Amino acid sequence: MLATLTAIRQHLRDHDYPHAEQVRLALVTRLVQQLGWDIWNPREVRTDLAPRRPANGAPLALTLVAPDTGATTICIACVDAGGLAQPLAAVEDHLRGHPRALFTVLTDGQRWRFYYSLLAGPHANQLFCGIDLLSDEPAGVAEHFFAFLHRANVLNHSARHRAEACLAQRAQPAAAQAATPPAACLLPHFPAAEDAAHAIDKVPAFWLDNHSEPAAITADVPELAAPLFLLQRPKAGLQAEANWLPIGTMRVLMGSTAAGRVSSSISAAGYELRQHLLQTGVLRPHEGKLHFDQDYEFDSPNRAAEVVCGGTVNARLAWLRAGSGQTLGSYVTGSIMN
């Protein structure tokens, strides 16, 4: 994900996505694929059927449909570059014509605004998160995308609970709000989902300044249920990204790379698993290395590191937290102590 965000940031600086069609096709679709959605399945990822953009400037939508019992949907509405740097009332009014979703996300490629669509009232009441791909730290951006848009987090309802927690946090007393600078609302710290107020109809209105430019985020990366870790071997050209899950598993993300050859230290189980992943298409040979063509959840961080490196490594030291560089061993120990 970090490599993808870095590439997208450069395209944004080069003004390569001026139109809503390009934002949706080249940027949004790329990100949602990284977040576990099957972009080739029209039952899961749907686009507007109109061949041309409506003359009234209405956003172009890409809808994510989770295959759960409620058919949870997330609507991502795309506008031209710079479309969210202007007053938002007219753009937000177009959202009322979209089907009711769990979240509605409004983006011009650079700026992303997340609305909790099940909450009645004006859009200012529904807004729970804002992201700027150019000014916010990539590690923080990646964690928020994973928290709210990753397919697994939508399916297990943690995305919904986190959004509700953000809304509840914004509904704190005015005195507490005064101590929090407005920029801190852009990438909010997440309260524990179990402590969030889930009675959304009781959350009072809040306001986020629509016209101020987002400031760079200097706060610590928020704690999430599935924090992002990196395993890098620069000399070998390897970089793997993975989410550590509280149940002790490690989900290596699509786009990660693994060693093309194994060393003598690899275990029999590790070798067999690599061969299985090659046979099933999870791993694909590419330029002397192996490429993860989809996410894969390993039963432990050690097994994930062994497959990535092609040999035995100390996973507690090899996996480093994105942004902070904290080792996995230190992070897990701290989580248990807390």
pTM: 0.56
Is residue 106 located within the same domain as residue 186? yes
Query: What's the rounded Cα separation, in Å, for the pair 299 and 74?
Result: 30
Residue 256 lies in a domain: yes
Q: Would you mind telling me the total number of residues written for the chain in this entry? A: 338
pLDDT value at residue 154: 85
* Collapsed DSSP state (helix, strand, coil) of residue 45: strand
Residue 152 one-letter amino acid: A
- Locate all alpha helices (DSSP H) within 14-52, ordered by sequence: 20-22, 29-34
DSSP class of residue 44 equals T
In three-state secondary structure terms, 46 is: strand
Average pLDDT over residues 302-310: 94
Of 166, 184, 202, at which residue does a domain stop? 202
Name the burial class of residue 62, with classes exposed (0-12), middle (13-18) and buried (19+) by CB atoms within 10 angstroms of its CB: buried
Containing 336, the helix (H) or strand (E) segment is: helix 328-337
Percent of the chain residues topping a pLDDT of 70: 74
131: which strand partners? 112
Are residues 194 and 331 both part of a single domain? no
Q: In what helix (H) or strand (E) does residue 105 lie, and over which residues does it extend?
A: strand 103-107
Ranges of H-type helices in 150-243: 151-155, 158-170, 174-178
155 three-class SS: helix
- Examine the domain organization and report whether 46 and 180 are in the same domain: yes
The CA-CA-CA angle for residues 193, 199, 204, to 5°, reads 105
Whether 219 is covered by a domain: the verdict is no
**237-276 pLDDT per residue, tens:** 899 999 987 667 889 999 999 999 999 999 998 999 999 9
Identify whether residues 147 and 29 lie together within a single domain: yes
Among candidate residues 145, 167, 202, the one where a domain is terminated: 202
Same domain, 244 and 195: no
How is residue 103 written in tokens?
A: 């979240």
- pLDDT of the residue at 182: 37
**235 and 154 share a domain?**
no
Distance CA 121, CA 132 (A): 25
Looking at the fold, whether 250 and 159 belong to one and the same domain comes out as no
Domain contains 216: no
Kindly state whether residue 88 falls inside one of the protein's structural domains: yes
Could you tell me if residue 212 is inside a domain?
Answer: no
Name which of 114-123, 145-154, 276-285 the model is least confident about: 114-123
Is residue 181 located within the same domain as residue 241?
no
Per-residue pLDDT band for 57 (boundaries 50, 70, 90) equals: low
Residue 218: inside a domain, yes or no?
no
**Mean pLDDT comparison of 166-180, 182-196, 304-318, highest-scoring range:** 304-318
Q: What is the average pLDDT value for the chain, to the nearest integer? A: 77
- The residue among 276 and 82 whose pLDDT is bigger is 276
User: Could you tell me if 11 and 137 lie in one domain?
Assistant: yes
Residues 179 and 285 occupy one common structural domain: no
In a domain? residue 220:
no
What residues contact residue 284 under an 8 Å CB cut-off, 6+ apart? 278, 290, 291, 293
Residues with Cβ within 8 Å of 200's Cβ and at least 6 positions away in sequence, in order, are 116, 118, 119, 164, 167
Mean pLDDT for the stretch of residues 174-198 = 39
What domain range is 80 assigned to?
2-202
| pLDDT the model gives residue 306 | 94
- Considering the domain architecture, whether residues 14 and 162 belong to the same structural domain is answered as yes
What is the rounded CA–CA span in Å between residue 158 and residue 29?
22
| Residue type at position 285 | P
Is residue 38 situated within a structural domain? Answer: yes
- Residues 147, 95 within the same domain: yes
Domain tally for the chain? Answer: 2
